[in-house]
Structure 1
Amino acid sequence: MAPIWSRQPFKAIYIAFALLVKVPVLLLLSLRFLFPTFRPIPNLTFRITLFARLVREYILFQAQTRHNEKSAVEASQSKAKDRFAKAQTGDATLYTDVLEATQVIKPAEVGGLWYPGPPPLSEDLQDEKVVLHFPGGAFVIACGIDLNGRMFSPFVLKELKADRFFLAQYRVAEGPSTRFPAALQDLVTFYHYILSLGYKPCNVLVSGDSAAGNLAVGLVRYLEQTAVLPLPAGAMLWSPWTHVTKTAGQDYLKETNVYADILAPEILQWGVDAYLPETGLSKDILPYVSPLHHPFHTSVPFFIHSGKAEGFCDTIRVFAREMSAVEGNRVRHHETDLAPHNSAFSHLATGLTAAIRRAFEDAQEFFDEQA
């Protein structure tokens, strides 16, 4: 059931409460954070600590008011003009097994943004390298805005030496028709779209952050199991949400660094309540929803990034070890000191730009070794 604050006039009351009460509290906290002893992790900088707390409060606001940012993404896509592109659904044979369409959940047209610009239709793209990235958002918040793309794409275009970057916004969970497997259907649609333009699979990297890191794992698992499309050259996971349970909010509170990170447990609980299938988690679906403890063999090399100051750090380490333990898998896990969740998108605010650049350089070195 949605919180009372997600409906008017209670939403307005919550906003007023935040402005009148939470803002002064945050100002007092900022004074406390000047002293390392009073920080959730004493060796974190004041800048990172304050940033994480401010973002956490905004994420809590999103969860309590069910503010999913879809309108912001749509406005951003509209302003992007020719950099915005739509991906049409493919043939029904692309969506089989756990992704098979039902009367309620069907593949749909989805869109995204190109960086630095769209590929010229008149050119042969077989030698171009492209990174197809899916933004996080706990399955319920749309994060495919141009600002996020501009934060991430410079690393992709320079450190990863890619020619293009595509920020692909899948459907977020907001009703029966967008529960699992809707988002994964969209990932297949986007990947098929990239290949249909003329890109060779060996020149395509798929990438995802947070909940979309989870989805990117699901995409590779699906392609391995069904062979409906050729496999990409590699996969990058940035702070992936690998341990997804029906009680995600409570489970998150048991993790390391919870109170120092940007995520609020309420956003994770909203995510699973909206995303998990109403019919329950069968043994076939569970690995797609929660990849932790469900490793699989893949010929696709995985680069996994996490921050040592994020709440998901322990589960990401375990997932990376489990995938590495499967014979034939190629996995590199890169951890960034002092980094909170999804630091690749907040490097300017946290002062971690150089550290994130090193992570991308490590990713490029790793994929070069696999070529």
Structure 2
Amino acid sequence: MSAEERQAARSMMQKGEVGRSPAEQRAEFDKLFASRPLGDDVTLTERTYGGVPALDVRVDGADAAGVILYLHGGGYVIGSARTGANLAAPLSRRSGVPAVSLEYRLAPEHPFPAGVHDALAAYRELAGQPVVIAGDSAGGGLALATVIAARAEGLPMPAGVVLFSPWTDVALTGPSIDARGDYDPLFSRPNMEETAELYLGGADPRNELASPVLADLTGLPPLLVQVGSAEVLLDDSLRLVARAAEQEVDVSLDVIAGAPHVFQYFEGLLPEADEALDHAATFVKNRIRDKVVGAVA
């Protein structure tokens, strides 16, 4: 990706405004992403997992063992299973593994830890097979929190975790929250603070399930983290990876210079987005293969 292409990608984004209601934010987000074409090879089927609404994301030919549990982004306030399918589908297509996109409850109507409870309930039902949990932005933070909650409950660990530009620190203590504020085309501290407040509903932002970068990560399954350098959330990934490595967790990190938040959405437009999804798909396939082989052995 040339410098010009990276700038073009960033210019397609608009800085979030402070003070808009959740309803306004949801309407705008859905207008942009809720009807994005998934491809003629994709079928979406409504169902529930653990009592939580979800979409089965079935791509023709993606019938390998296991499942991807996908958790959409949107700051825990906006987004849906349908918007999550925009990344679940290409990840399924490239890996050959079926996917589920979860309709977890959103704040402020359902503040923390409602989303964690929903994701854990769905994972609990799916955990009888190899599972990779994946998510973008807030969904990435939720994916990590779900694994931590599953560990506390004594559930089997998933085969792996894929995190696209994860928001892992709602306390907003990472230096890049301020240092990258002018570079990030989408977020700034004020709108992140507003979103965090809606999500937390008065809860402690340093709770490990709200800000899993602060948690003990010992014993977690392999992680793959992808992030762009043009993000206020850059340090949410860098600190997570360093902490995971210090605590003997297998972890891989892809940092794409000049790329914006969840740059994987530019699949088909930017080579780095396709390369990132290919890498993530290979990770999914390998982790599930390892889980299947381990179960047979």
Give the structure-1-normalised TM-score: 0.65
Structure 2: distance between partners of 1:330 and 1:52: 31
Q: Which residue is 2:158 aligned to?
A: 232
Question: Which residue type is aligned with residue 17 of structure 2?
Answer: L
Q: Which residue is 1:281 aligned to?
A: 204
Question: Percent identity among equivalent residues?
Answer: 19
Q: Which residue is 1:111 aligned to?
A: 54
Query: Larger C-alpha radius of gyration, 1 or 2?
Result: 1
Q: Give the Å deviation of 1:241.
A: 0.9
Aligned residues of 2:113 and 2:210 also touching (Cα < 8 A)? no
**2:228 matches 1:271:** no
Q: Which residue is 1:156 aligned to?
A: 92
CA gap 1:205/1:150 in 2 versus in 1, 3 angstroms:
same
Structure 1: distance between partners of 2:273 and 2:139: 22
SS in 2 for 1:292: helix
Q: Give the Å deviation of 1:252.
A: 5.9
CA gap 1:191/1:52 in 2 versus in 1, 3 angstroms:
same
CA gap 1:54/1:143 in 2 versus in 1, 3 angstroms:
farther
SS in 1 for 2:20: helix
Of 2, 11, 17, the residue aligned with 1:60 is: 17
Structure 1: distance between partners of 2:104 and 2:167: 17
Q: Give the Å deviation of 1:144.
A: 3.0
Q: Any residues of structure 2 matched to 1:79-158 within 5 Å, and which?
A: 83-89=45-51, 109-116=52-59, 128-145=65-82, 149-158=85-94
Of 323, 330, 343, the residue aligned with 2:263 is: 343
Give the structure-2-normalised TM-score: 0.79
CA gap 1:211/1:299 in 2 versus in 1, 3 angstroms:
closer
1:57-116 deviation line (CA, Å, top 9, x unaligned): 4x438x63432427949x86xxx9861223343xxxxxxxxxxxxxxxxxxx43334222
- CA RMSD after TM alignment: 3.6
Question: Which residue type is aligned with residue 51 of structure 1?
Answer: A
Structure 1: distance between partners of 2:20 and 2:270: 26
CA gap 1:141/1:265 in 2 versus in 1, 3 angstroms:
farther
SS in 2 for 1:298: coil
**2:252 matches 1:332:** yes
Question: Which residue type is aligned with residue 140 of structure 1?
Answer: V
Structure 2: distance between partners of 1:81 and 1:360: 22
1:201-224 deviation line (CA, Å, top 9, x unaligned): xx2111111111111111111111
Number of residues paired by the alignment?
284
Q: Any residues of structure 2 matched to 1:194-343 within 5 Å, and which?
A: 194-195=126-127, 199-200=128-129, 203-227=130-154, 229-245=155-171, 248=172, 253-256=177-180, 258-278=182-202, 280-281=203-204, 286-327=207-248, 329-343=249-263
Q: Give the Å deviation of 1:349.
A: 4.4
Structure 2: distance between partners of 1:308 and 1:154: 23
Structure 1: distance between partners of 2:90 and 2:231: 23
Of 151, 173, 177, the residue aligned with 2:107 is: 173
Larger RCO: Structure 1 or Structure 2 (Cα < 8 Å, ≥ 6 residues apart)? 2
Structure 2: distance between partners of 1:171 and 1:50: 34
Aligned residues of 2:170 and 2:211 also touching (Cα < 8 A)? yes
SS in 1 for 2:81: coil
Aligned residues of 2:88 and 2:101 also touching (Cα < 8 A)? no
Structure 1: distance between partners of 2:121 and 2:75: 20
CA gap 1:145/1:249 in 2 versus in 1, 3 angstroms:
farther
Q: Any residues of structure 2 matched to 1:43-54 within 5 Å, and which?
A: 45-54=3-12
1:266-301 deviation line (CA, Å, top 9, x unaligned): 4422221111142x418xx61111123433212411
1:340-367 deviation line (CA, Å, top 9, x unaligned): 1111122334453443244325525763
Question: Which residue type is aligned with residue 275 of structure 1?
Answer: Y
Structure 2: distance between partners of 1:112 and 1:166: 6
Q: Which runs of 5+ in 2 are unaligned?
A: 36-41, 292-297
SS in 2 for 1:254: helix
CA gap 1:68/1:183 in 2 versus in 1, 3 angstroms:
farther
Q: Which runs of 5+ in 1 are unaligned?
A: 1-42, 90-108, 120-124
Q: Which residue is 2:116 aligned to?
A: 184
